[in-house]
Amino acid sequence: MEVVIASSPVDAGIGCWDLRSGSEQLRYRSCSSAPHGLLSIAGRFLASSQLRDSPSSASSPIFFWSWDKPQVEVRSFPAEPIGPLVSNSEGTYIMGGGPSGSIYIWEVASGKLLTRWHAHYRSVTCLTLSKDESLLISGSEDGSVRVWSLMMMFDDMAKASAGVLYRYSFSEHALRVTDVVTGHGLCNSIIISSSEDRTCKVR
Check if the beta carbon of residue 140 is closer than 8 Å to that of residue 121: yes
Tens-place pLDDT, residues 135-160: 999 999 999 999 999 999 988 888 88
Q: Report if residue 177 sits inside a domain.
A: no
**Cα separation, 125 vs 26, whole angstroms:** 28
Domain carrying residue 80? 3-172
Q: Could you tell me if 28 and 76 are in contact, meaning their C-beta atoms sit under 8 angstroms apart?
A: no
In a domain? residue 189: no
CB 34 within 8 A of CB 47: no
Distance CA 203, CA 199 (A): 13
Query: Strand 124-129 and strand 135-140: pairing?
Result: antiparallel
Cβ atoms of residues 154 and 115 within 8 Å: yes
Q: Alpha helix locations (H) across the chain?
A: 150-153, 156-161
Domain of 11, CATH number, reads 2.130.10.10
Q: Are 127 and 157 in contact (CB under 8 A)?
A: no
CA-atom Rg of the chain in angstroms: 17
Report the candidate in 63, 27, 68, 31 with the shortest Cα–Cα distance to residue 47: 63
* pLDDT score of 75: 87
So what's the pLDDT on residue 121?
95
> Would residue 188 count as lying in a domain?
no
Strand partners, 63: 48, 75
64-101 pLDDT, tens per residue?
988 878 888 888 889 899 999 999 999 999 999 999 99
Helix (H) or strand (E) holding 116: strand 113-118
What's the pLDDT band for 118 if we cut at 50, 70, 90? very high
Band (11; pLDDT cuts 50, 70, 90): low
Phi, psi of 94 (to 5 degrees): -125, 150
**pLDDT higher than threshold 90 for residue 201:** yes
> What's the number of domains the chain is made of?
1
pLDDT at 57 over 60: no
Would you say residue 28 lies in a domain?
Answer: yes
Decide if 186 is inside a domain.
Answer: no
pLDDT band at 162 (very low <50, low <70, confident <90, very high): confident
Residue 190 lies in a domain: no
Quick count: other Cβ atoms within 10 Å of Cβ 90?
Answer: 10
Amino acid 173: pLDDT: 96
pLDDT for 27-51, tens place per residue? Answer: 887 778 888 999 999 888 999 998 7
pLDDT band at residue 198 under the 50/70/90 scheme: very high
